[in-house]
A = this chain, B = another copy of it.
């Protein structure tokens, strides 16, 4: 799914504070902030009306920010124009205090290039602790993604991994409050130049930024007037899907496609989620903008068969392509990839839970992001292009009364536990999915990549 999953991603990429962007993974050759007089102003490539609409949707739909609520916001430095629009909408909505934190790609790179070795096992714990405190005090959370997905791909992978681990540990208490929806939160994207160059490598930088901006605006449903109403409608469609699935109470899903024969058991007491969710503070938020998926928790000991990835996975600057894995009793017992296999196997060795599933998500092949044909190198978008599964940590939200379950109960019901949560795409136009009841009865869910 996206919320947790995105937040998991956040832990490693987007939420990492300035010094610590360890998981975004190329070289930065320029930046609109430090451009010289001969460069075009890239933010001029971004439609200001749509940008403002994205800010409005983030505040009114993504967060549903309440009067008096504080807002903690993280963003790449390039996203300053969007941060300004968000601050205005947030204050108009009654925000108490809006506190933005900016990360900067050059500052992050300075650490990897010049920092002494001993520093890579440390994190700014005082800051992460403060964030946990803010979330426990009902502060809403907005993350703007947009860093170069290849930022750290040229840096020492050992240092990247160590810094990532140190941050993960330090951020854990704050992350749990997000993953468990203690407060309302939302992730949106800004078309920064360094990201746009990765997605559109063959065009001029200003053209790339304009193209990525339009792709983000369309996927985020802010390309037309009436964006807030469009989101209400979209949420209603997703709710209809989750209600049907929750009514069915499938024991398992069976996937078949060329190279795919996979049975994914669903966790006992699993609940399907999609679109808007109500956080524990009573506020209904859309944690991911865009979002097209419905998702739930698989049973981490009841997955068997084999599956291949339908799209490349961009992980910390490495493209992992044509993943082929075999599951036995929930566990990946064989893993191959035509590219990035070594990184894949390192990931699987992170901990015991890294070889088991924590999420299963359904996305029709006709989703707008799939139809765009773009690889965004960012899970916020790419996971909404196809049905997917995620290795690693599950989300308590995807259980009936999940907020009341202990970690032990969640584990007993089949929920997986891990330091990682990595989504990868398995759906295509050839994917058939059956819902399988406990008595063996089968109900068509997807046929040829679309809802049956």
Is A54 an interface position by the 8 A CB rule?
no
Given A97-B123, A99-B127, 18 other A-B residues pairs in contact with their CB atoms under 8 A: A18-B100, A20-B97, A34-B84, A37-B40, A67-B116, A70-B122, A77-B77, A77-B80, A84-B104, A87-B110, A91-B111, A96-B116, A100-B104, A101-B102, A126-B133, A127-B130, A129-B130, A129-B133
Residue of B nearest to A206 (CB): B37
Q: Output the least CB separation between A47 and chain B (Å).
A: 14
Q: Which of B33, B68, B98 contacts A111 (CB 8 A)?
A: B98
Bound Cα distance from A37 to B77, whole angstroms: 19
Residues in chain B near residue A374, CB distance under 8 A: none
Residues in chain B near residue A84, CB distance under 8 A: 34, 104, 106-107, 110
Residues in chain B near residue A341, CB distance under 8 A: none
Contact A98 B133 (CB under 8 A): no
Task: List A residues 141-200 near B (Cβ within 8 Å).
Answer: none
Proximity bits, A38-51, B CB within 8 Å = 1, else 0: 01110110000000
Contact A126 B130 (CB under 8 A): yes
Q: Output the least CB separation between A120 and chain B (Å).
A: 9
Is A420 an interface position by the 8 A CB rule?
no
Is A407 an interface position by the 8 A CB rule?
no
Residues in chain B near residue A113, CB distance under 8 A: 91
Q: Which of B35, B107, B139 contacts A41 (CB 8 A)?
A: B35
Residues in chain B near residue A36, CB distance under 8 A: 41, 44
Residues in chain B near residue A81, CB distance under 8 A: 33-34
Is A88 an interface position by the 8 A CB rule?
yes
Is A83 an interface position by the 8 A CB rule?
yes
- Give the 6 A-B residue pairs with the shortest CB-CB distance, closest first: A130-B130, A91-B114, A126-B133, A91-B115, A96-B119, A87-B110
Is A411 an interface position by the 8 A CB rule?
no
Is A19 an interface position by the 8 A CB rule?
yes
Is A363 an interface position by the 8 A CB rule?
no
Bound Cα distance from A18 to B97, whole angstroms: 9
Contact B111 A107 (CB under 8 A): no
Residues in chain B near residue A116, CB distance under 8 A: 67-68, 91, 94-96
Q: List 13 A-B contacts (CB under 8 A).
A: A37-B40, A39-B41, A80-B104, A87-B106, A87-B110, A91-B116, A96-B116, A96-B122, A98-B107, A98-B111, A100-B104, A126-B139, A130-B130
Contact A70 B100 (CB under 8 A): no
Is A349 an interface position by the 8 A CB rule?
no
Q: Which of B19, B106, B139 contacts A99 (CB 8 A)?
A: B19
Residues in chain B near residue A83, CB distance under 8 A: 104, 107
Task: List A residues 398-442 near B (Cβ within 8 Å).
Answer: none
Is A134 an interface position by the 8 A CB rule?
yes
Is A204 an interface position by the 8 A CB rule?
no
Q: Output the least CB separation between A11 and chain B (Å).
A: 17
Q: Output the least CB separation between A90 and chain B (Å).
A: 8
Proximity bits, A63-94, B CB within 8 Å = 1, else 0: 00001101000000100110110011001101
Is A452 an interface position by the 8 A CB rule?
no
Contact B102 A102 (CB under 8 A): yes
Residue of B nearest to A137 (CB): B126
Bound Cα distance from A3 to B118, whole angstroms: 31
Contact A18 B98 (CB under 8 A): yes
Contact B44 A80 (CB under 8 A): no
If the complex has contacts A70-B124, A84-B110, A100-B107, are A44 and B33 also in contact, measured as CB distance less than 8 A? no
Is A213 an interface position by the 8 A CB rule?
no
Is A2 an interface position by the 8 A CB rule?
no
Residues in chain B near residue A70, CB distance under 8 A: 122, 124
Task: List A residues 230-245 near B (Cβ within 8 Å).
Answer: none
Bound Cα distance from A83 to B108, whole angstroms: 11
